[in-house]
Amino acid sequence: MIILKENHVKLLCVMKLESYIKENRKALDVEKPDEKYLWKGIIKAVGSLKKLRRLIISRSAAAVAAITILAIIGAYFIGRNQHNNLILVNVDSKLAKQEVILLRQIDDYSEQIKKTGFNVDQLVSGNREVEYIDDLIHYYSEDLKQNGPNPRLINSLIDLYEKKILVLNRMLNEIEKYESHEKRKINL
């Protein structure tokens, strides 16, 4: 506690404590801190915080840019692959739906044949027919891409898909017959 000298204590007026303090509020700020020492710490911390914030912002921006680029590249390739498979998507939405259904059926049959592990070259005509149909699908597709929608070609393409399904179905039946025949042979 500060020791008061007599001349500091003025009994000029008597006041209530609350109002006295309120009236002299500003004069109450009597202590002086080490201004220079405190400032050094403040400005150093503010500088490093700003640097850190800038670093975080630049790194975040770089990460966002990288993700965007990857997304664009991914979307481009996915779109390109889908576009390769779906020829009628740009012609007509109904035909496109039909194409999707037919291609799904083709994939299902091809998958089933693959699962049997049967050498399709042993089949009499199936595999050659499939190859021939695939060539035609490729040929018609290219024509449609280059020259735009052509009703005849579109119908032919749908027809080719259906034919391919029939051939694949026949191949699958043939494989099943062959396998059951083999089993019977073993049993005998």
Partner 1 sequence: METVTIDINNILVEKACQGDQKAMFRLYRMYLPAMYNTCIRMVVNKNDAEDIIQESFISAFSGIEGFRGEASFGTWLKRIVINNSINHIRNKKIKFVDMDTIQIDDTDSEDDDLPDIPMEVIHNSIKSLPDKARVVLNLYLLEGYLHREIALILGISESTSRSQYIRAKKLLKEILIREYDHIKGESC
Task: Give contact residues for partner 1 (rule: CB under 8 A).
Answer: 1-4, 6, 8-18, 20-22, 24-25, 27-35, 37-39, 41-43, 45-46, 49-50, 53
Least Å from the CB of residue 58 to partner 1: 16
Q: What is the CB neighbour count within 10 angstroms for residue 51?
A: 10
Least Å from the CB of residue 8 to partner 1: 5
CB-nearer residue toward partner 1: 2 or 186: 2
For residues 154 and 98, the answer to whether their CB atoms sit within 8 Å is no
150 three-class SS? coil
CB-nearer residue toward partner 1: 50 or 97: 50
Contacts of 102 (CB under 8 A, 6+ apart): 158, 161, 162, 165
For residues 95 and 158, the answer to whether their CB atoms sit within 8 Å is yes
Least Å from the CB of residue 87 to partner 1: 55
CA distances to 8, 12, 24, 34, 39 from 30, rounded to whole Å, are 15, 21, 12, 13, 19
Least Å from the CB of residue 111 to partner 1: 59
CB-nearer residue toward partner 1: 45 or 72: 45
CB-nearer residue toward partner 1: 24 or 85: 24
